[in-house]
């Protein structure tokens, strides 16, 4: 029996607002425990929440980026459960009438065609506090501490649809998460730093016989700490459930944990359903009316989406689409390209050099482009020297390496290191003569009409001149000295 997987994500994304969702405590990562708290976000009696308008704006921005309907009326609900990190005994979330519904995110599907992954809803809610256990193993802890700094921080919950174009494979799941994160960063509503807990996923997986329209029982895996773990857990779970189905068994509906050591999922508890949370509208918060004009004003000030960047890079700068896709993966990278392109004569050469050479240097020292020691002005000056043939590619690489280490300008480095190309034909000819004298066999092969040894001689001249010779000029000289001489 062949099987299909259905994968649904609930992704929690921390919005980058200055203050929390219902009070004016600051959102600060790594602040001393319980230093960013007040009576509202610690759930003390007699206080009232006041909604952060910026968080609503960011939610609508997400809704627009993911092609959702923006509900004209929206409301907050209480999700009731007990846990020590939740001081009120409920989380302010949304249930009926979230801000955004029925959207999609287009990804390249497994069949090579664009696939519009259904997004069921995007709602806004508050984060809980953080428990710190005295031992890394929960069971062995003598005591646990609670830090409420994170309590009340605004979160978006983005839920994919299990009926309308769900994710069907491990690969589609990976592509979806990457595109989701990329888009959120592009519209500047979250930094999505996984290590800081700004992008957390719960995932639901179920399996059904190929072609079947029903839904099997699903297993949920909660709060995975990295992309790697998420993919490992998904892969394991798809295999586990398929095997149960193949053997004629039934999958339990349950919440499972991913054991990072053993790389397996293990049962945690039977899965809770919505009624378990006794949702009801929060009486402390009024319904929110969102008018057309407000949505339009957010739409008109929206930062560019990844597709728009790719379009701009190919249309305005004429660079190949594959290059544009690579540059646009990271908004800051596309920004660096744009800043350089202003000064550059050859934008395709520019994109090649960013992708091949600058990426390599940045990766070697694990530096993000934002901290690149080479300014766009200097980088584009170097590219202009290259496109005018004033330095060879090989010297260009040396110069770039030096610029990267010292932050110096290309001219200063070229002068200081004596890297000016050899312009004097007499000097080039001298080097070539030496090379020819040392390689008489190559010379006679060229005389007999072979082409390959020409490249060998050029390579030798480049080596002897420390890359300062212009290869085109050397080829020309070889033609004149050997080939034409022969004719
Ligand atoms: Zn507060
Ligand atoms: Mn949630």
Tell me which ligand sits closest to the C-alpha of residue 153: 1
Tell me which ligand sits closest to the C-alpha of residue 150: 1
Packing angle, helices 292-300 and 53-65, rounded to 10: 70
> What's the average pLDDT block by block, 10 residues per block, for the chain (487 residues)?
90 97 97 98 95 98 98 97 95 97 96 95 97 78 92 98 94 96 97 93 91 87 83 93 91 88 85 80 96 97 95 94 94 95 93 96 94 95 91 90 94 85 85 93 90 91 84 87 68
Tell me which ligand sits closest to the C-alpha of residue 11: 2
Ligand 1 centre to CA of 177 (Å) is 31
Q: Would you say 244 and 228 are in contact if contact means Cβ atoms under 8 Å apart?
A: no
Per residue, what are the HEC states of 405-449?
HHCCCHHHHHHHCCCCCCCCHHHHHHHHHHHHHHCHHHHHHHHCC
Listed residues 251, 267, 297: the one ending a domain: 297
pLDDT, tens only, 195-236: 899 999 999 999 998 888 888 889 999 877 788 888 999 999
Same domain (yes/no): 291, 318: no
- What three-state secondary structure class fits 137? coil
Tell me which ligand sits closest to the C-alpha of residue 38: 1
Same domain (yes/no): 408, 443: no
Tell me which ligand sits closest to the C-alpha of residue 200: 2
Listed residues 381, 416, 451: the one ending a domain: 416
Same domain (yes/no): 118, 205: yes
Q: Would you say 133 and 141 are in contact if contact means Cβ atoms under 8 Å apart?
A: yes
Residues 151, 31: Cα–Cα separation, whole Å:
13
Ligand 2 centre to CA of 13 (Å) is 10
Q: 8: how many CB neighbours lie within 10 A of its CB?
A: 21
Tell me which ligand sits closest to the C-alpha of residue 19: 1
Ligand 1 centre to CA of 20 (Å) is 7
Residue 39 CB-half CA count within 13 A: 7
Tell me which ligand sits closest to the C-alpha of residue 125: 2
Ligand 1 centre to CA of 10 (Å) is 26
Tell me which ligand sits closest to the C-alpha of residue 277: 2
Residues 286, 56: Cα–Cα separation, whole Å:
14
Ligand 2 centre to CA of 204 (Å) is 14
Same domain (yes/no): 408, 267: no
Residues 180, 192: Cα–Cα separation, whole Å:
10
Ligand 1 centre to CA of 100 (Å) is 26
Same domain (yes/no): 377, 274: no
Ligand 2 centre to CA of 8 (Å) is 14
CATH number at 430 reads: 1.10.10.410
Structure confidence at residue 200 (pLDDT)? 93
Same domain (yes/no): 259, 317: no
Tell me which ligand sits closest to the C-alpha of residue 158: 2
Structure confidence at residue 313 (pLDDT)? 95
Residues 88, 41: Cα–Cα separation, whole Å:
9
Ligand 1 centre to CA of 28 (Å) is 12
Structure confidence at residue 485 (pLDDT)? 65
Same domain (yes/no): 66, 90: yes
Structure confidence at residue 271 (pLDDT)? 66
Ligand 2 centre to CA of 94 (Å) is 9
Ligand 2 centre to CA of 283 (Å) is 20
Ligand 1 centre to CA of 14 (Å) is 16
Same domain (yes/no): 249, 102: yes
Q: Residue 467 region, left (φ>0) first, then alpha (ψ -120 to 50), else beta?
A: left
The whole domain housing 465 covers 425-486
Tell me which ligand sits closest to the C-alpha of residue 26: 1
Structure confidence at residue 201 (pLDDT)? 92
Structure confidence at residue 211 (pLDDT)? 82
Structure confidence at residue 188 (pLDDT)? 97
Tell me which ligand sits closest to the C-alpha of residue 152: 1
Ligand 2 centre to CA of 10 (Å) is 8
Ligand 2 centre to CA of 125 (Å) is 7
Query: 63, 29, 9, 290: which is closest to 153 by C-alpha?
Result: 29
Ligand 1 centre to CA of 16 (Å) is 16
Ligand 1 centre to CA of 38 (Å) is 4
Tell me which ligand sits closest to the C-alpha of residue 20: 1
In 17-89, the DSSP E strands lie at 69-70, 73-74, 77-80
Listed residues 229, 264, 297: the one ending a domain: 297
Tell me which ligand sits closest to the C-alpha of residue 27: 1
Same domain (yes/no): 21, 123: yes
Tell me which ligand sits closest to the C-alpha of residue 121: 2
Same domain (yes/no): 316, 282: no
Ligand 2 centre to CA of 196 (Å) is 17
Tell me which ligand sits closest to the C-alpha of residue 91: 2
Same domain (yes/no): 262, 389: no
Same domain (yes/no): 115, 216: yes
Number of independent structural domains in the chain: 3
Ligand 2 centre to CA of 405 (Å) is 45
């Amino acid at each position: 029996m062949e099987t299909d997987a259905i994968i649904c994500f609930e992704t929690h994304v921390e919005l980058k607002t200055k203050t929390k969702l219902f009070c004016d405590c600051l959102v600060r990562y790594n602040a001393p425990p319980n230093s960013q708290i007040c009576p509202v976000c610690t759930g003390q009696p007699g206080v009232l929440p006041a909604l952060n308008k910026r968080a609503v704006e960011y939610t609508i921005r997400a809704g627009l980026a993911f092609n959702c309907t923006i509900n004209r009326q929206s409301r907050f609900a209480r999700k009731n459960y007990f846990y020590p990190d939740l001081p009120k005994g409920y989380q302010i979330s949304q249930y009926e009438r979230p801000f955004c519904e029925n959207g999609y995110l287009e990804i390249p599907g497994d069949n090579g065609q664009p696939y519009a992954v259904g997004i069921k809803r995007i709602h806004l809610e508050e984060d809980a506090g953080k428990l710190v256990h005295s031992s890394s193993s929960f069971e062995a802890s003598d005591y646990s501490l609670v830090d409420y700094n994170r309590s009340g921080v605004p979160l978006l919950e983005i839920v994919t649809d299990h009926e309308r174009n769900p994710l069907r494979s491990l690969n589609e799941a990976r592509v979806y998460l990457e595109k989701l994160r990329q888009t959120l960063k592009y519209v500047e509503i979250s930094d999505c730093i996984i290590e800081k807990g700004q992008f957390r996923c719960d995932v639901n997986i179920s399996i059904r016989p190929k072609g079947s329209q029903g839904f099997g029982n699903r297993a949920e895996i909660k709060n995975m700490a990295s992309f790697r773990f998420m993919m490992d857990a998904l892969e394991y779970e798809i295999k586990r459930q398929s095997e149960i189905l193949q053997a004629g068994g039934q999958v339990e509906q349950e919440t499972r944990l991913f054991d990072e050591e053993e790389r397996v999922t293990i049962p945690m508890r039977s899965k809770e359903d919505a009624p378990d949370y006794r949702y009801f509208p929060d009486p402390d918060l009024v319904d929110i009316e969102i008018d057309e004009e407000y949505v339009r004003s957010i739409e008109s000030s929206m930062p560019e989406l990844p597709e728009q960047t790719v379009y701009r890079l190919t249309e305005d700068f004429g660079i190949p689409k594959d290059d544009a896709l690579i540059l646009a993966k990271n908004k800051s990278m596309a920004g660096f390209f744009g800043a350089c392109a202003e000064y550059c004569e050859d934008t395709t050469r520019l994109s090649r050099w960013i992708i091949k050479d600058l990426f390599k240097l940045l990766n070697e020292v694990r530096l993000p482009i934002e901290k690149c020691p080479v300014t766009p002005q200097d980088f584009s000056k170097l590219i202009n020297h290259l496109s005018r043939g004033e330095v060879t590619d090989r010297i260009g690489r040396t110069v770039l390496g030096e610029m990267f280490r010292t932050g110096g300008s290309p001219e200063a480095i070229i002068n200081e290191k004596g890297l000016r190309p050899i312009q004097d034909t007499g000097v080039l000819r001298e080097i070539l003569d030496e090379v020819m004298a040392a390689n008489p066999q190559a010379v006679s092969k060229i005389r007999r009409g072979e082409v390959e040894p020409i490249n060998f001689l050029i390579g030798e001249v480049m080596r002897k001149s420390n890359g300062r010779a212009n290869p085109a000029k050397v080829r020309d000289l070889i033609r004149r000295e050997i080939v034409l001489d022969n004719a």
